[in-house]
Amino acid sequence: MKAYRLLTEDDTSAFCHKVTEALNKGWALYGSPSYAYDESTGKMRCAQAVTKEADGDYSPDVKLGGL
């Protein structure tokens, strides 16, 4: 199965740590990062898609963060 996640976080080092952790768990970057202003919080937000090949079949019950 090929898994997909979209990692998001405020524009702080926490975002970089979240992406770095995913990369070290075998996820691969997918596309370019995004950067946008979140009017509801008044902060910039970052997003990065990642993918990973995993054993088993896809089900909506799969906990993607645990792969």
Q: How many helices (H) and strands (E) does the chain have?
A: 1, 3
Q: Could you read off the pLDDT of 48-57 as tens digits, one per residue?
A: 999 999 998 9
Instruction: Measure the CA–CA gap between 29 and 49, rounded to whole angstroms.
Output: 6
Q: pLDDT by residue (tens digit) across 14-34?
A: 999 999 999 999 999 999 999
Domain segments of the chain: what residues? Answer: 2-54
Helix (H) or strand (E) holding 6: strand 2-10
53 CB-near residues (< 8 Å, 6+ apart): 1, 2, 3
Q: What is the pTM of this model?
A: 0.88
Distances (CA, A) of 19 to 15, 16, 39, 52: 6, 5, 23, 13
